[in-house]
């Protein structure tokens, strides 16, 4: 009898498996790093192009202009105010959307996303119409101006309100994700031990959400810094009154001063980097986690 034909082994030699594994890891990082570096490289090239286009003389000249200094001051104040207001609203609303299922929740969840998807000019126009729409003999802008002696439209409060309307939506999304990642069991245990819902929120949930709150503030501040469309429509771009850095770029471009526009753009990039680093450092210190 002829012996049964032997089947060829389909397994790799024992020495080939470690070699394939050694090649697989570098290939993985090469692919992942190559894809990831595309966007990072784009940002670096954009900043490098601005740096190469302008000069230190143009940059210092722009910083010494009185109207740009006033725009810097208003930008810092309005972005900070909008970010703090956003955090003040986003923390409770993000908590409610994360923890509770109440009637109309899906409507609220949809409404808070509208400023994110709505075109900026439309948002600014909607704010302008809201404040100037006549409800019979009553008008919101007139009530603020005459009764409260606090004009809003085409004044600095309009800048803050326009920035807040957009940045708050991003802060709410950040805080909701933050509370989604926090296990509610500790809050339930605290309530069984005699804490009210408010005490459980303040003593249990908030300390665990500190890093999320810092992230929400960072995103809100950065988004307020780059806001342009709603500010231009609702607050205008009056120099010395409602001009912020984003509208400064527009004003400098409109009169053909490209060097000054690029210099202000670089200033905005620098401010964004400084604020992001400071807030992230504060978040790391509060959380006690080393990066």
Q: Per-residue confidence at 30, pLDDT binned at 50, 70, 90? A: confident
User: Which of these CATH numbers, 1.10.10.10, 1.10.3720.10, 3.30.930.10, 3.40.50.2300, describes 40-287?
Assistant: 1.10.3720.10
Closest Cα to residue 92, out of 189, 179, 187, 194?
Answer: 179
Average pLDDT over residues 136-156: 90
Whole-number pLDDT of residue 287: 57
228 sits in which H/E element? none
Has residue 288 got a pLDDT over 70?
Answer: no
Residue spans of the domains in the chain: they are 40-287
Has residue 289 got a pLDDT over 50?
Answer: no
105 sits in which H/E element? helix 105-111
139 sits in which H/E element? strand 138-139
Whole-number pLDDT of residue 77: 95
Q: Per-residue confidence at 80, pLDDT binned at 50, 70, 90? A: very high
Most confidently modeled of 17-31, 53-67, 69-83?
Answer: 69-83
- How many Cβ atoms sit within 10 Å of the Cβ of residue 3? 5
Average pLDDT over residues 64-85: 92
- Residue 135 gets which letter from DSSP? E
Q: What are the tokens at 38?
A: 């595309």
Residues 157-184 pLDDT 10s = 999 999 999 999 999 999 999 999 999 8
157 sits in which H/E element? helix 156-180
Q: Per-residue confidence at 57, pLDDT binned at 50, 70, 90? A: confident
Separation between Cα atoms, residue 235 and residue 158, nearest integer Å: 5
């Amino acid at each position: 009898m002829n012996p049964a034909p032997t089947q060829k082994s389909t397994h790799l030699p024992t020495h080939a498996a470690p070699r394939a594994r050694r090649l697989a890891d570098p290939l993985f990082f090469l692919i992942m790093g190559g894809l990831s570096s595309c966007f990072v490289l784009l940002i670096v090239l954009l900043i490098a192009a601005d740096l190469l286009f302008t000069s230190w003389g143009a940059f210092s000249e722009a910083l010494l202009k009185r109207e740009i200094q006033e725009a810097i001051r208003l930008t810092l104040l309005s972005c900070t105010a909008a970010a703090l207001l956003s955090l003040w609203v986003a923390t409770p609303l993000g908590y409610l959307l994360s923890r509770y299922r109440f009637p109309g929740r899906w409507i609220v969840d949809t409404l808070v996303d509208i400023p994110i998807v709505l075109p900026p000019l439309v948002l600014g126009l909607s704010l302008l119409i809201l404040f100037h729409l006549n409800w019979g003999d009553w008008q919101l802008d007139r009530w603020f101006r005459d009764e409260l002696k606090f004009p809003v439209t085409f004044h600095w409060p309009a800048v803050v309100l326009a920035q807040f309307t957009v940045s708050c939506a991003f802060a709410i999304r950040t805080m909701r994700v933050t509370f989604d990642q926090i296990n509610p069991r500790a809050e339930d245990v605290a309530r069984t031990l005699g804490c009210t819902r408010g005490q459980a929120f303040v003593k249990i949930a908030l300390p665990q959400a500190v890093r999320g709150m810092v992230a929400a503030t960072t995103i809100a501040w950065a988004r307020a810094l780059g806001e342009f469309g709603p500010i231009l429509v609702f607050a205008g771009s009056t120099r010395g009154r409602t001009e912020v850095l984003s509208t400064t770029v527009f004003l400098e471009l409109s009169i053909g001063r490209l060097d000054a526009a690029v210099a202000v753009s670089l200033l905005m990039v620098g401010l964004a980097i400084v604020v992001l680093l400071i807030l992230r450092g504060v978040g790391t210190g509060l959380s006690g986690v080393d990066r």
